[in-house]
Amino acid sequence: MQWVPVGTLGKTHGLKGELKFIPEITDTELFDGLRTARIGGEDESAPPREIASLRGTASRLIIRFEGIDRIEDAQPLTGKSLLVPQDEFPPLPEGEHYWFEILGLEAYDDTGKFYGTVDEIIETGSNDVYVVRDGSDEVLLPAIDDVIQSIDPEQNRLVFHVIDGLL
């Protein structure tokens, strides 16, 4: 099973083992009904943690795990990443992809020239921008139809068209 990092556990909240949760994604509806998660740095052979409660608004979420009922039990988890199973994410419409499917893809232009790997996604007001890096070289690709021709996570490949002024 693939586990996807979705945010960071912040400081403790109250005395009953709750933690602030800082999501790295803007669509917090993905957390509705979430039942299990892993804590970054924990032994992967350990069973996932059961989520006892997750509440709040997009900018201020509070999480509590089963078996963690005291502040002393929650404190070691602060600053750790929270990972959720990839299969917890609902399927997207054809042609749409989650960020974790795009990060790490090899980027090629439509002539087959390799430019690097998608290393980061920058959210802007109008569209995302894919940051492609190869060593010290960097290319910024706007995630628009005129530029991005195909995204194929199964082939680990992103193909883009070089428009005027892109490179």
CA 52 to CA 143: how far, in whole Å? 37
48: which DSSP letter? P
Q: List pLDDT tens digits, range 59-77.
A: 789 999 999 999 999 999 9
Sequence ranges of the domains in the chain: 3-88, 99-160
Q: List pLDDT tens digits, range 70-124.
A: 999 999 999 999 999 888 888 889 989 999 999 999 999 999 999 999 999 998 8
Which numeric CATH code is attached to 99-160?
A: 2.30.30.240
CA 140 to CA 24: how far, in whole Å? 21
Cα angle 110, 116, 119; round to 5: 120
Q: Tell me, what's the pLDDT at 24? A: 84
Extended strands (E) in the chain: 3-13, 18-23, 36-39, 49-57, 60-65, 81-85, 106-109, 114-123, 128-134, 137-142, 148-152, 157-160
pTM for the model: 0.75
> Cβ–Cβ contacts within 10 Å for residue 58, how many?
12
99-160 has the same fold as 3-88: no
The amino acid sitting at 72 is E
Helix locations, 51-142, DSSP H: 71-74, 99-102
> Cβ–Cβ contacts within 10 Å for residue 47, how many?
9
Q: Which CATH superfamily is domain 3-88 in?
A: RimM (2.40.30.60)
